[in-house]
Structure 1
Amino acid sequence: MPLLPGAEPFRHDGGEVGVLVCHGFTGSPQSVRPWAEYLAERGLTVSLPLLPGHGTRWQDMQVTGWQDWYAEVDRALWSLRERCSQIFLCGLSMGGALALRLAAKHQEAVSGVVVVNPANRVHGLGARALPVLRHLVPSTKGIASDIAKEGVEEVGYHRVPLHAAYSFRRFLQLVDRELPQVTQPLLLLHSTQDHVVPPADSARILARVSSRDLTERLLERSYHVATLDHDAATIFEESYAFIGRLTRQESAPRG
């Protein structure tokens, strides 16, 4: 299937500091590409993969699951490790959950994590019914383009495939159990008004990670896809400053 316009993966070879950027559930690289390009323009090596089943049509996502999505970002991380001395993880929504699991699993290979409106659970009245409902109904209304800024659209699916939603729910349960294994510096930015992932998800993540260097920032003018919204510049600038602070600490002489 041909890719949707803007759904192409992005890669930039820059300096010794690498950044892996992860997009969200039913979305595409388009939703976080401005973030990736901002970091690339400042000399960082950046990898933004397209998750399997995404960026084409929602039916293609029905035959994928969390193992496929996680394997893709895991491969991208290993690729960055081959050429970079330090690696940071960035993610939006499910991309945030993927980044947190990578941090939990790869520990010393990851220098820091930045997440925007990270998901911690699947919400909605039908969430608990997914094990049965996914066999009866193939899809439900999409969640793309929750954006306050007028005239801005997210390239994502207009339908949510329920087999994939069930797998996503199981993945979030797994990530929640592994959050105490996240020890790296963490910058978490979340919208005060989000129609997809409520602030309670961010609060739970902040309470369960073991990071000592922990920063929370509120995004008061944006909805869920904040990386395309009014607060996008704040996200980009804060994440770059966060990475810069930690790379300076790493390179500072000791003694």
Structure 2
Amino acid sequence: MDPEKTAPFELGRGEDACLLLHGFTGSPWDVRPLGEALAARGLYVRAIQLPGHCTTPESLLCVGHQDWERAAVHALLSLRGYRRVFVAGLSMGALLSLKLAADYPEQVQGLALVAPALRFRGPHMWLLKRLRHRRLLERLKPWVFKSGTDISDPAVLAEAPILPAFPSARLQDMWELQDAVMDALPRVRCPTLVAVAEQDHVVDPEGGRVLARGLIASSRVRFISLKDGFHIIPRDRGGPLLASEVGSFFDRVRERMARSEDPRASPRRPAAG
């Protein structure tokens, strides 16, 4: 993968910050347009590289979901100096974002879950997950090869950095992360936006609806389904609409929090006596 394209990045300035998390076998390149849009709205934006990503397929041999979770936690805690912190994640990054909000509720003021990888497309992947404890895939097909990524725009697709393969053992980590997210879902309290692509060929959009329904403790949930584009929504034809929706959602959260923090907005107590 091109190290310049896939490098982590920091954009913008402001008292509020947003952490961006890319997906499995992806890179910060996938989420950069969303980061640029949020920075234009006055947020400091940081996108990290998850362990084992953005280099070679072999780099994923010795990492797993616990390493990705630790990296996400470290990045979140590095933003403690900001007034408010939001987290936005794509695909697997959306699952990691949910875990952060559940485990660190005081640090995460809002979430954007983009094409969350709660369920993979197709009966083949469903069956493999059901049989995962037998580790048949790892024995029969230790590597999964990729020739492209799920983007509908041919011009963007031609520029996309592609990891050509990944160890099939990492699917075990994805399935464990999916299970962990379902357990953590009732503990997420912050406002959350869930966005799916109707034409996603990687994950089932129904998984996004499951997450939205399961956010029973969240103070606000918004669900949107985009007709244009495939799985890598921020880079695809639905990217501008996604950026507008996420930016507006975070802006409304910031405005409500600002009003609640303004002492002039607090009702006066009646005088004693």
TM-score range, shorter chain: over 0.9
1:1-255 to 2 correspondences below 5 Å: 4-12=3-11, 14-81=13-80, 83-123=81-121, 124=125, 125-130=127-132, 131-142=135-146, 144-153=148-157, 154-210=160-216, 211-252=218-259, 253=262, 254-255=265-266
2:203 match: secondary structure: coil
The structure with the larger Rg is 2
Aligned residues: 253
Unaligned segments of structure 1, at least 5 residues = none
1:34 CA displacement: 1.5
* Deviation larger for 148-157 or 228-237: 148-157
Distance 1:122 1:65, change over 3 A: farther
TM-score (normalizing by structure 1): 0.93
What is the root-mean-square deviation in Å for CA atoms of aligned residues?
Answer: 1.7
Following the alignment from structure 1 to structure 2, what is the Cα–Cα distance between the partners of residues 208 and 32?
Answer: 25
1:47 CA displacement: 1.1
* Deviation larger for 9-18 or 44-53: 9-18
1:135 CA displacement: 3.8
Following the alignment from structure 1 to structure 2, what is the Cα–Cα distance between the partners of residues 187 and 142?
Answer: 30
Letter of the structure 1 residue corresponding to residue 130 of structure 2: R
Following the alignment from structure 1 to structure 2, what is the Cα–Cα distance between the partners of residues 20 and 164?
Answer: 24
Following the alignment from structure 2 to structure 1, what is the Cα–Cα distance between the partners of residues 167 and 199?
Answer: 25
Following the alignment from structure 1 to structure 2, what is the Cα–Cα distance between the partners of residues 230 and 24?
Answer: 18
- Confirm or deny: 8 A CA contact 1:149 1:222 kept in the other structure: yes
Q: 1:25-49, CA deviations, whole angstroms, 9 ceiling, x for partnerless residues? A: 0101110011112222332111100
TM-score (normalizing by structure 2): 0.87
Following the alignment from structure 2 to structure 1, what is the Cα–Cα distance between the partners of residues 15 and 151?
Answer: 34
Following the alignment from structure 1 to structure 2, what is the Cα–Cα distance between the partners of residues 195 and 80?
Answer: 34
